[in-house]
Structure 1
Amino acid sequence: MAVTKIEKPNHRRLWGYAFDPSLSNNADTANFNNLIFKVRWDDYKEKGPVGEYIEVVDFDPASGCFYPPVDLNNIHIVAKDGLMPSESNPQFHQQMVYAVAMTTIQNFEKALGRWIMWSPKLIYDKNGNIIDDAYVPKLRLYPHAIREANAFYNPNKKAILFGYFPAISENTGTQLPEGIVFTCLSHDIIAHEVTHAILDGINTKLIDHYNPDTLAFHEAFADIVALFQHFSFEEVIKNQIAKTRGDLKSQNLLGELAQQFGHAIGNYGSLRDAIGKINPETKKWEPTTPNPDDYLNKTEPHDRGAILVAAIFEAFIQIYKRRVAD
């Protein structure tokens, strides 16, 4: 009897959030916020998951706890396209950071036409001088690394540390007051931080402080990638174009970053917005008016980077308008 050879799948399907958990609690956005990411198939040798590019290590230093790693090769998990979205399940948190990180890596590789490489780990002598460097095969992701409202890429550890914290604002939106917000469940924060790591691998000098534009470029490019990755989510695009009647220059989710995080830390809107912001006095969204003096006056990397983000998003909207003019 002939034996049929079954080819290895090209992709693995994993559930995750298109934005963050808060949008799944809103009737207007719940129907598209839970989606399936298609990531490159990887034969995981270890739970975590630990793949070719990424190693998820779920250790919480504040509590001294190691959360059991998810086994994405488990037949029941594979059959259900991964674990279903859940704010309370640490194993889904591991799946979420992995799925979004791999999606971001795949988009970079498609654009660059080559593999992604992480920056090497520098080795110092006792006097602090660089004497060698070491190849870094995998970027480490720590979903519950710090108990604070922050997430960041650590170029020395070649790792991304995600924080979690209680919502501190009265204006929490759909977030439970004083409920725990996990930065590892925000698509935008994960994509933003992974982009920092990828850029560091492309050019390690961009992370230096010798020029105010280098760190600003890092922040701007990371925001741009997180924003435009939303445009690969078909149901999100359909919903937002219908909601704005095609006017993407009006307030919409496609121009906003980290809605849940922004509300939880006291903002009246998202953490950052490419085309506008909520006026704290009127509590209404207003489009941003370009100011030529911003480049001279703004030196904080996020504020300075926002100039480039706004310019790129405006250029995209102009192209979009011309293409749909008829």
Structure 2
Amino acid sequence: MATVENKKHVSEKSKQQIADQGKVRAVAEAMVHLPAEVDPPILGSRTRIWKQDPSVTGLNLPRDVYIHGQVNEGPSDSQIVIRGLSPVTPDLNRDFLIDPASDEKAFDAVHTYTIVRQVLTMYQRVLDRKLQWRWNSSTNQEPISVHPQAGRTPNAFYSREEKVLKFFFFKPDSLPAGSPDVYTCRSLDVVAHETGHAILDALKPNWISSSAPAQTGGLHESFGDITSIFTILSQLDLVEYIIAETKADLHGRNILAVLAEQFGLAFGMPNGLRNADNDLKLSEVSNEVHDISQVFTGAIYDILADIFTANRNSRVRDDSVTLYETGQYMAGLVIRAIEKAPDNNAIYADVGKAMLALVKADGHPEYATFIEKHFTLREVLGSQAFAGHPDLSHLGIHPNRRGCCGTMQHPEYQT
């Protein structure tokens, strides 16, 4: 039998529950009558993209990804807007899940927007701040315009003057008549590479000029390539694929090191336009900017592989998590080192030395060993640093940009 004291306790508890329910009801009623000017919550959206170039066997199927933030019709947001194609409208859940087999143009719009957004978000996260495009200011927040199907030519480029990223399509001469066109916008590598140019131009606007030394131009081309690598490593499902594909050996052939597979294949290059897993030294390359860029890219790739191997302990930790975190750290390390490099005429040694200082400040002095090792092997740092490279810009002869992407060959940067 309940005592008087117990009955009193139950009664007080019931009163409190009723009071709490009343508070909840009041909040709910207030939310129903929110004033019209209150912004709705940011919901985020799912989009659908190619996992890699459509030609990559095993990954030539679309995959769904999630974008945290407000994505509007287009697709578009406050920093990126798709142009040149009919705007794509989200479904009732604000998702953009387009089937490429049913609407190629809409899919291209969504895919290209998503990769540009992923690149921008990745660098904003590792820097912990919002990045501005080169033309942005306190009074100008104009987004970059992205054209997935800008015309017919084997090219893609970023233009500061036009405030655009343009991706083109073409039919390779090597393919038989009736073969489908190759669309540069469908390559994760190509879209990430050109977006990298736009981001680097915002950080170091004088680096893109053709009057800069070959190594400065090489940093621009290399940053585009390693941006693709870091973008792949920022997606855990692709990281898991790489671990399974290579058995955790990043020096085995893999989608991470081979860049722009479909574009390269169109020109008879079965290993892509470039391969980041290379052993090139400064003394082994020419003054052509694309050629010399591979030295810096190869060093960064080797440093990433060494840090991953050093941190790997698959008995106690998932290899995919280790590689994912290594990619995040390397993305932040490289872009922070670039910010510390000179605003004019930067060379590889400037960025390498900044990386050494940063890893020590970050509490990772052991990483300095890898940085010194690979930049020394490639004749960038140390007593064997190559001083005889034919960088003739100081004589008024511009570095050769013949093999570069459309951005570095664009007329507006030829000074």
| TM-score for the superposition, normalised by structure 2 | 0.62
- In the TM superposition, what are the counterparts of 1:128-143 in structure 2 within 5 Å? 135=140, 137-143=142-148
Mapped to 2, the partners of 1:247 and 1:145 lie a distance apart of: 39
C-alpha change, 1:314 and 1:50, in structure 2 (3 Å) is same
- Structure with the higher fraction of residues in strand conformation: 1
Q: What are the superposed Cα offsets for residues 115-138 of structure 1, whole Å, 9 maximum, x if unpaired?
A: 1111128xxxxxxxxxxxx83511
Mapped to 2, the partners of 1:321 and 1:250 lie a distance apart of: 13
C-alpha change, 1:43 and 1:293, in structure 2 (3 Å) is closer
- In the TM superposition, what are the counterparts of 1:1-326 in structure 2 within 5 Å? 2-3=28-29, 5=31, 8-23=41-56, 26=57, 28-30=58-60, 33-42=61-70, 44=72, 47-58=73-84, 67-72=85-90, 74-75=91-92, 78=94, 81-86=96-101, 89-120=104-135, 135=140, 137-170=142-175, 178-209=179-210, 210-275=212-277, 288-294=278-284, 297-324=285-312
Mapped to 2, the partners of 1:193 and 1:225 lie a distance apart of: 9
Q: What are the superposed Cα offsets for residues 259-314 of structure 1, whole Å, 9 maximum, x if unpaired?
A: 11111122122111111xxxxxxxxxxxx4433413xx422222111110000000
How much has 1:188 moved relative to structure 2? 1.0
Gaps of 5+ in 1: 59-66, 122-133, 276-287
* Structure 2 equivalent of residue 280 of structure 1: none
Mapped to 1, the partners of 2:150 and 2:41 lie a distance apart of: 34
Q: What are the superposed Cα offsets for residues 43-77 of structure 1, whole Å, 9 maximum, x if unpaired?
A: 53xx422320011111xxxxxxxx422113x327x
* Structure 2 equivalent of residue 130 of structure 1: none
- Count of equivalent residues: 280
Secondary structure of 2:168's partner? Answer: strand
How much has 1:193 moved relative to structure 2? 0.8
- Structure with the higher fraction of residues in helix conformation: 2
Mapped to 2, the partners of 1:271 and 1:221 lie a distance apart of: 15
Amino acid in structure 2 at the alignment position of 1:119: R
Mapped to 2, the partners of 1:34 and 1:5 lie a distance apart of: 39
How much has 1:240 moved relative to structure 2? 2.5
Q: Percent same amino acid among aligned pairs?
A: 26
How much has 1:36 moved relative to structure 2? 2.2
Give the CA RMSD over aligned residues: 2.7
Q: What are the superposed Cα offsets for residues 80-130 of structure 1, whole Å, 9 maximum, x if unpaired?
A: x52134496111111111111111111111112211111128xxxxxxxxx
Q: What are the superposed Cα offsets for residues 132-151 of structure 1, whole Å, 9 maximum, x if unpaired?
A: xx835110111111201110
Contact 1:21 1:87 (8 Å CA) reproduced: no
Amino acid in structure 2 at the alignment position of 1:16: I
C-alpha change, 1:214 and 1:136, in structure 2 (3 Å) is farther
| TM-score for the superposition, normalised by structure 1 | 0.77
C-alpha change, 1:185 and 1:5, in structure 2 (3 Å) is farther
Whose Rg is larger? Answer: 2
Gaps of 5+ in 2: 1-24, 33-39, 315-415
